Copies of this chain bind each other. A is one copy, B any other.
């Protein structure tokens, strides 16, 4: 494993390395931790990386690692930098033949995303996007329940992602995480909608497979002087007639990382909250409310969900494990690729470059809709699939 980003003070870089290493299936051995070579070197020891493999740029890393013997070089590149740099890094890595695990949103804009899609499709690399919430065992359980018909036809998808940390204008305090996320030149066309609404939207897509049709979106920048949205609501019409909402906030006092999704089907309904991820509420009229817990041995657990658990029920798992599950699914395909086996992307559980394109399209259309007085715009991208 080689990482791009993750220099001193980084949050998400550390998450990637812990997640990737949780099951002992990969080891971080190289990194372009910073575009400042000195800083990159300084970051290496904290990751247990030999300084000789701490590079001053992603280009240097790709170049040097490519020259190493196959059994020594990195197998994949994790891209954990701010959004505006994802494209060139990921593209170069793919073109150099490395598998890629890329943070979301995938690129700066849709155009880049579509180019990257082509690059990936012209390669045989494994490309995974860390929509990490899809890695929670009970999200996979919900997905299997829905795709297997247990909920019947899906009528409604209500997703919220509520945070409060950008209530103050932290970007003025030189807070690194806040600074690039609120800077259109680094984050892209959207703020909260690019950073977190995409997660909520993707979660509904992942869980239900229902295809979107059109979207109407209203965005707000409640903090004075902020350049990008810090709040917004999108209403989504789905192809099958379902109605959805995605609401994202970064300005809700005291709210931490509250991803919540409710799904109504003709045969049952589900509710899940990320802050209490070991419970999935399943309801059917005329029956007791049921709480499915993350129990790998429970008869109700579907295969992919049970296989995503590391601990018995009651021993809570959380954020790192979910993140690790996305990596684990990608590792499965990387192993197949290494063996020359065929990869059936329909069975892959990790979000892919296609999801990345869909996500960028979602952001683009939401912003466009907002600018046009919340007009209804198309939302289904040609690459969308169940």
Interface residues of A (CB under 8 A from B): 11, 14-15, 17-18, 21-24, 47-48, 155-156, 158, 160, 162-165, 167-168, 216, 218, 220, 222, 231-233, 235, 237, 241, 243, 245, 247, 249, 251-258, 262, 264-269, 274-278, 282-293, 295, 298-300, 310-321, 373-374, 376
Report yes or no: A254 in contact with B319, Cβ–Cβ below 8 A.
Answer: no
Each complex incorporates copies of this chain amounting to 4
Report yes or no: B264 in contact with A241, Cβ–Cβ below 8 A.
Answer: no
**Interface pairs (23), CB distance under 8 Å:** A22-B320, A155-B251, A156-B222, A156-B231, A162-B262, A167-B285, A216-B235, A220-B243, A222-B266, A233-B245, A249-B264, A252-B264, A253-B268, A254-B289, A256-B314, A257-B314, A282-B288, A286-B298, A289-B291, A311-B320, A315-B318, A317-B319, A373-B376
- Give the residue of B48, B237, B264, B320 whose beta carbon is less than 8 angstroms from that of A320: B320
User: In the complex, A163→B231 CA distance in Å?
Assistant: 27
User: In the complex, A160→B247 CA distance in Å?
Assistant: 13
Distance to closest chain B CB from A140 (angstroms): 16
B-side contacts of A376, CB under 8 Å: 373-374
**Nearest CB in chain B to that of A222: its residue:** B155
Distance to closest chain B CB from A121 (angstroms): 33
B-side contacts of A288, CB under 8 Å: 282, 290-293, 298, 300
**Nearest CB in chain B to that of A373: its residue:** B376
B-side contacts of A286, CB under 8 Å: 298-299
Report yes or no: B293 in contact with A291, Cβ–Cβ below 8 A.
Answer: no
- 12 further A-B pairs in the complex, CB-CB below 8 A; given A18-B310, A289-B290: A164-B283, A167-B266, A216-B216, A231-B264, A233-B235, A235-B235, A253-B264, A253-B283, A288-B291, A288-B300, A290-B290, A316-B318
User: In the complex, A160→B264 CA distance in Å?
Assistant: 14
Nearest first, the 5 closest Cβ-Cβ pairs linking A and B are A254-B283, A256-B314, A257-B314, A316-B318, A288-B290
Report yes or no: B285 in contact with A269, Cβ–Cβ below 8 A.
Answer: no
User: In the complex, A314→B241 CA distance in Å?
Assistant: 28
**Nearest CB in chain B to that of A290: its residue:** B288
Report yes or no: B243 in contact with A233, Cβ–Cβ below 8 A.
Answer: yes
B-side contacts of A18, CB under 8 Å: 22-23, 310
User: In the complex, A220→B244 CA distance in Å?
Assistant: 11
B-side contacts of A274, CB under 8 Å: 314, 316
User: In the complex, A168→B286 CA distance in Å?
Assistant: 11
Report yes or no: B284 in contact with A254, Cβ–Cβ below 8 A.
Answer: yes
B-side contacts of A300, CB under 8 Å: 287-288
Distance to closest chain B CB from A3 (angstroms): 13
B-side contacts of A264, CB under 8 Å: 231, 249, 251-253
User: In the complex, A239→B70 CA distance in Å?
Assistant: 63
B-side contacts of A293, CB under 8 Å: 256, 288-289
Report yes or no: A241 in contact with B220, Cβ–Cβ below 8 A.
Answer: yes
User: In the complex, A328→B155 CA distance in Å?
Assistant: 41
Distance to closest chain B CB from A204 (angstroms): 14
Report yes or no: B275 in contact with A314, Cβ–Cβ below 8 A.
Answer: yes
B-side contacts of A235, CB under 8 Å: 216, 218, 233, 235, 374
B-side contacts of A15, CB under 8 Å: 311
Distance to closest chain B CB from A71 (angstroms): 15
